[in-house]
Structure 1
Amino acid sequence: MRAVLVKTFGGPETAEIAEIDLPAPGPGQVRIRNQALAVHPADVAVRAGFLAALLPEQPSFRLGWDTAGIVDAVGEGVEDLRTGDPVIGLTHWFATRNGTHGDYAVLPADAVAPAPAGLTAAEAATLPLNGLTALQALDAADLREGQTLLVTGAAGNLGHFAAQLARYRGLRVIAVARATDRDPLTALGAEFVEAGEDAVAAVRALVPAGVDAVLDTALTGAALLPAVRAEGTFLAVRPPAAPESERGIRIVVVNVRPDGRQLGEVTKLAEDGRLATRIAAAYPLDRVADAHAHLDRAGVRGAVVLTV
């Protein structure tokens, strides 16, 4: 089978197709015949070598966090899934360092959920990593209906899902993004603040006491703390962007975990039209280098997807 491997860190061309053995599912696992695979900034960071100091030395790394496809084989003890079932699933790449990008992927059955009806495989593939991260971040924020969530990088894939899920939960959402992203974000029901040096002051003008929580997908860090009320919550999506606490602000690093049950919640919201997906571009698997080059561009809106 084909798989996307990185043997040498570098430019998009170092994400290459190689032949590997077809994996067999073990107990509690399923093998998925992939149909679509999202390419994430985390894949780009690994390929480019930005995270090399955090990775063990090994001959190659297989990229990929999530998949949409068809169950091809089931391991011992798997009862809720059968061959032929359309599914989506997530692996935590930094825990396994063995990703999904290729013709097939093997995942724990409890990291898999039925694919959303009415969505294409490419659309479904955009849900697992960013949808689960957004859902788990909102759970960690533990806000009540009517409270205020500030989302930085709200036009990105994670921020876009988070803004939608927050509005579904009845939260007031303030979205920080580029000026060109105003209309799509206000259409989701968010209030808009243009990113830049004056963003915190603009947020305080809207919420003089400070927001109840911020989800910092733009990795702004400590500069955002003045926008948060005393004893509010700061949600960071990468440890280096998590600031030191001040004024009793709770600092939470959101480390996504595969969870088939929660992924099912994300699926249902997408089926019901409450969670809109976006695709910037789709490339066949053998053009994976082009997909990485596309994601390297600034200002990409929507997911870059590989089709299998």
Structure 2
Amino acid sequence: MRAAVYDQYSTDPGDIVVRDVPDPKLFPGSVLIEVRAAGVNPVDWKLMAGYLDRLMDVQFPVIPGWDVAGVVVGLGPDTPEFAIGDEVMAYARKDVLGAGTFAERVSVPVHAVARRPAALTWEEAAGLPLAGGTALRTIDALGELGDRTVLVHGAAGGVGSLAVQIAVARGARVIGTASERNHAYLRDLGAVPVGYGDGLVDRVRALADGPVDAVADFVGGQLDTTLAVLRDGGRHASVADASVVEHGGRWIWVRPDGSETARLAELAAGGQLRVEVAQTFPLDRVADAFRASMTGHTRGKLVIVP
């Protein structure tokens, strides 16, 4: 099969090449997915650069990509959950970095796989599992929201925008930090936007009419602001700052979990969650997708379509 690969750690996306590689093996409890679309996430190029080498073993050559949407074309032993022809989606991270989703086919453990809802296109479904799972775990960590007020740092980003929608669906009043150009977008998602910069604490407290009940951080470097606006006993979580644990917060690292992905699919099917796709790329332009992701200025998901 054809796949995008890199043969060693590198900070240059140009070192990614497309070539023929062996078909994935179907191990027990797995399904073989014909890839219709695969979402790009910042972790993909960070892994290529070796930034997470202390956390993950690697087997070169590496096929990047952890998000996938596609059709089941093969079944490993003991996989009664799925059948040939099922349309599925998954956060397909494995314990060893190697066989990813930027390829024509990928094998994925069934515990990570969920069915694709008809409400999502292939590209939307491919952009949802990792970012959506991160958002879902973060909002879950904040506890019952009801009509409480939640501050979301980085609310217009790929993960933050999904977290905003999940919190709104649970009845929360959401205040979201974003640049001015994204304020209309946040209002459309149901959040109250607030600009970055000096005076942020005062602006948030004014909008909330006091301290907020919970804070979700998707950018890092926001701990001082979080603690300054959070009520006593309030909950906070971050995907980008492990030091929150020292201040009673939760550091989030999403796990492959088909049941969580299915919860996201239900929200999408019910019209409560939408995925914005910014741009699609063929396999031979994975390097361009990485460069776009590395700018940090893309609103919406970048998606590979083999």
Q: Indicate if the aligned counterparts of 1:14 and 1:47 stay in contact, CA closer than 8 A.
A: no
1:73-97 deviation line (CA, Å, top 9, x unaligned) = 011111120111110011235x332
The answer to whether the Cα contact below 8 Å between 2:71 and 2:87 also exists between their aligned partners in 1 is: yes
Shift of 1:262: 2.0
| 1:10 paired residue number | 11
Deviations 1:182-237 (A, max 9, x none): 11101222111111232222112223542111110011232222121122112111
Q: Contact 1:92 / 1:256 at 8 angstroms: preserved in 2? A: no
Checking the alignment, whether the CA contact within 8 Å between 2:58 and 2:96 is kept in structure 1 is no
Partner of 1:264: 262
Structure 2: runs of 5 or more not aligned? none
Secondary structure in 1 aligned to 2:297? Answer: coil
TM value normalised by structure 2: 0.93
TM-score, L = length of structure 1: 0.92
Structure 1 position 252, deviation (Å):
0.3
In the alignment, is residue 40 of structure 1 matched against residue 38 of structure 2? no
Per-residue deviation, 1:163: 0.2
Q: What SS does the corresponding residue of 2:108 show, helix, strand or coil?
A: strand
Structure 1 stretches lacking a partner, 5+ long: none
Distance 1:36 1:129 in 2: 14
Q: Give RMSD over aligned pairs.
A: 1.8
Which letter maps to 1:232?
A: G
Task: Tell me which moved more, 77-86 or 226-235.
Answer: 226-235
Distance 1:63 1:206 in 2: 42
- Amino-acid identity (%): 36
1:230-251 deviation digits (Å, cap 9, x = unpaired): 2211211135463631xxxx31
Counterpart CA distance in 2 for 1:300 and 1:239 is 22
| Alpha-carbon contact 1:221-1:242 (below 8 Å) kept | no
Per-residue deviation, 1:51: 3.3
Residues matched between the structures, number: 303
Any residues of structure 2 matched to 1:41-60 within 5 Å, and which? 41-52=42-53, 54-56=55-57, 58-60=59-61
2:236 counterpart residue number = 234
C-alpha contact 1:36 1:68 (8 A) present in aligned 2? yes
> Which residue does the alignment assign to 2:279?
281
- Stretches of 4+ aligned residues off by more than 4 angstroms: 52-58
Q: Which moved more, 1:5-14 or 1:30-39?
A: 5-14
Which residue of 1 is the match for residue 212 of structure 2?
A: 211
Q: Distance in 2 between matches of 1:48 and 1:21?
A: 24
Q: Equivalences for 1:29-178 in 2 at 5 Å? A: 29-52=30-53, 54-56=55-57, 58-92=59-93, 95-98=95-98, 99-178=100-179
Give how far 1:122 is off. 0.8
Rounded to whole Å, the distance in 1 between the matches of 2:81 and 2:59 is 35
